[in-house]
Amino acid sequence: MLHKYKKIALIEAEQYRGTVKQQRKYGILRIQKSLLIAPKDYLITIEGKMIVKIGDYIATGIDGEHWAIDQDIFERTYKRVD
């Protein structure tokens, strides 16, 4: 039988704007594989490299880990509490 679960841990998150300050804060790598292709930003997570786009949210978990969440998914899933 399936059961429903609700997260009880709070996270901190901020919307990614692609600033140098955010890149340094989260250790984001900007990689451009070709002059013909726009560079992509990568967030290093405990599960490996993850593409982060302008507008995505970068979440910080209870153990200090970071991950990116698509803006649409974040806004449908999380509610600001402060």
What domain range is 56 assigned to?
12-77
Q: Let me know if residue 67 belongs to a domain.
A: yes
Cα 44 off chain centre by? 10
Q: Is residue 30 part of a domain?
A: yes
- For residue range 23-60, list pLDDT tens digits in order: 999 999 999 888 888 899 999 999 999 999 999 999 99
Q: List the one residue out of 54, 52, 55 whose CA is nearest residue 27.
A: 52
Higher model confidence: residue 12 or residue 34? Answer: 12
Note whether residue 20 is domain-resident: yes
25 is a domain residue: yes
CA atoms within 13 A of residue 43's CA, in its CB half-sphere: 23
Would 26 be classed as within a structural domain? yes
44 within a domain of the structure (yes/no): yes
Q: What is the pLDDT of residue 49?
A: 95
pLDDT value of position 31: 92
Q: Is the pTM of this model over 0.95?
A: no
The answer to whether residue 18 scores a pLDDT higher than 90 is yes
- Which sign, positive or negative, has the C-alpha torsion 45, 57, 74, 40? negative
